[in-house]
Chains A and B, each alone.
Chain A
Amino acid sequence: EDKVVQSPLSLVVHEGDTVTLNCSYEVTNFRSLLWYKQEKKAPTFLFMLTSSGIEKKSGRLSSILDKKELFSILNITATQTGDSAVYLCAGVNQAGTALIFGKGTTLSVSS
């Protein structure tokens, strides 16, 4: 059965800290891995990763995929209180028919 596991489940840091969120996956005929940020409402798209070793970057956020070891990490540098959210990763199989989500990592950034 396909599954995605995220760690840690929750994290509390101070503003300015750097955090690393982990996502391991077992997805049949893996196609891509997605990262989303969810605040109070809908998940908002962050990154789509399909190739190993190529870092995707957007401002203070970056992510990389390791298809050999079946994991991905999401890095956030110089965290801000606005980064407080649940971060979700999801695996997609080749058919692309469904996203298999992890339970998420709840990040709390205190000022």
Chain B
Amino acid sequence: KAGVTQTPRYLIKTRGQQVTLSCSPISGHRSVSWYQQTPGQGLQFLFEYFSETQRNKGNFPGRFSGRQFSNSRSEMNVSTLELGDSALYLCASSLDTGDTQYFGPGTRLTVL
């Protein structure tokens, strides 16, 4: 079974721009969660989607948003990028909320 895939793998943007990241979960998984990983803060939860609905949201500003499609693929959008948004963005899929999450390889975002 194919694992979680994320595109693009690397991205360089400048301050003020916006970016969209994509995540395709493991086949059959309906829950997709997004995390931000930085050296200082570690892994921090952004939000989780299940059946196209956001089930939970972490403590991130409204510039961070997401959505999920009917095929369970998910996108994350960050608007008005700031230098501090530079991070590895990981998505994880699971069968349902609370089940073991399997991570994708991440998207490395650099904001200049």
Contact = CB atoms under 8 A, between A and B. Distances in A.
Contact of A102 (B42, B100, B102): B42
Contact of A97 (B44, B56, B104): B56
Nearest to A92: B98
A42 B90 contact: yes
Contact of B106 (A36, A42, A95): A42
A65 B55 CA distance: 28
A48 B102 CA distance: 12
B109 to A, nearest CB: 15
A88 B55 CA distance: 24
Interface in A7-59: 31-32, 34, 36, 41-45, 48
Contacts of A34: 100-101
Instruction: Name the prevailing secondary structure of the A interface residues.
Output: strand
Interface string B72-107: 000000000000000000101000111111111110
A50 to B, nearest CB: 11
Contacts of B44: 101
Interface in B25-83: 33, 35, 42-45, 48, 55-56, 58
A100 B106 contact: no
A44 B48 CA distance: 19
A93 to B, nearest CB: 9
A97 B48 contact: yes
Interface residues of A, number: 24
A73 to B, nearest CB: 19
Contacts of A48: 100
A61 interface: no
Contacts of A96: 96-99
B98 A104 contact: no
A9 to B, nearest CB: 11
Contacts of B90: 42-43
A107 to B, nearest CB: 16
